[in-house]
């Protein structure tokens, strides 16, 4: 069975600090997809990134970067120079590739608080 663990329940940093959100996953499949979503207080999940299991290249998008390491089953997310608008709950999710009929398996989320 697939599983996603986000060990950090809550992180609080001061604006402009860098922050890394950890994600560790378990799956028996060799082909799978990993995701990060942001959930602001409004409740709607906002898609941030999708990465398949064959692409271990790190990715950078503006202040956001992702580090995927299959050897440690981790897919960590770093925000550089954090801003108050980054405050939200962030979810890491996993989907195995066969038809996606099991939907997305989410971690419990990390509540990120950016203080001014």
Partner 1 sequence: ETGVTQSPTHLIKTRGQQVTLRCSSQSGHNTVSWYQQALGQGPQFIFQYYREEENGRGNFPPRFSGLQFPNYSSELNVNALELDDSALYLCASSLGLGPYNEQFFGPGTRLTVL
Footprint of partner 1 (CB under 8 A): 4, 6, 32-33, 37, 42-47, 50, 52, 91, 93, 95-97, 99-109
Burial 21-57 (b: 16+ CB within 10 A, else e): bbbbbebeeeebbbbbbbeeeeeeeeebbebebeeee
Cβ nearer to partner 1, comparing 61 with 116: 61
How far from each other are the two terminal CA atoms of the chain, in whole angstroms?
41
Length of the chain: 116
Cβ nearer to partner 1, comparing 86 with 96: 96
Cβ nearer to partner 1, comparing 8 with 80: 8
Task: For residues 40 and 49, give the distance between their C-alpha atoms in angstroms, rounded to a whole number.
Answer: 16
Q: Please report how close the Cβ of residue 15 comes to partner 1 at its closest, in angstroms.
A: 25
Cβ nearer to partner 1, comparing 3 with 16: 3
Q: Please report how close the Cβ of residue 27 comes to partner 1 at its closest, in angstroms.
A: 12
Q: Please report how close the Cβ of residue 71 comes to partner 1 at its closest, in angstroms.
A: 22
Q: Please report how close the Cβ of residue 68 comes to partner 1 at its closest, in angstroms.
A: 15
Asked if 37 and 93 count as a contact pair (C-beta separation under 8 A), the reply is yes
Bridging pattern class, strands 105-106 and 110-115: unpaired
């Amino acid at each position: 069975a697939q599983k996603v663990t986000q060990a950090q329940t809550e992180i609080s940093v001061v604006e402009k600090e860098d922050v890394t959100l950890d994600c560790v996953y378990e799956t028996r499949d060799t082909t799978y997809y990993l995701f990060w979503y942001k959930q602001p207080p409004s409740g709607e999940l906002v898609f941030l990134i999708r990465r398949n299991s064959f692409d271990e290249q790190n990715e950078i998008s503006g202040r956001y970067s992702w580090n995927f390491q299959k050897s440690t089953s981790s897919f960590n997310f770093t925000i550089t120079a954090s801003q108050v608008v980054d405050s939200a709950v962030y979810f890491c999710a996993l989907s195995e590739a066969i038809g996606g009929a099991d939907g997305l398996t989410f971690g419990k989320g990390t509540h990120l608080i950016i203080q001014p």
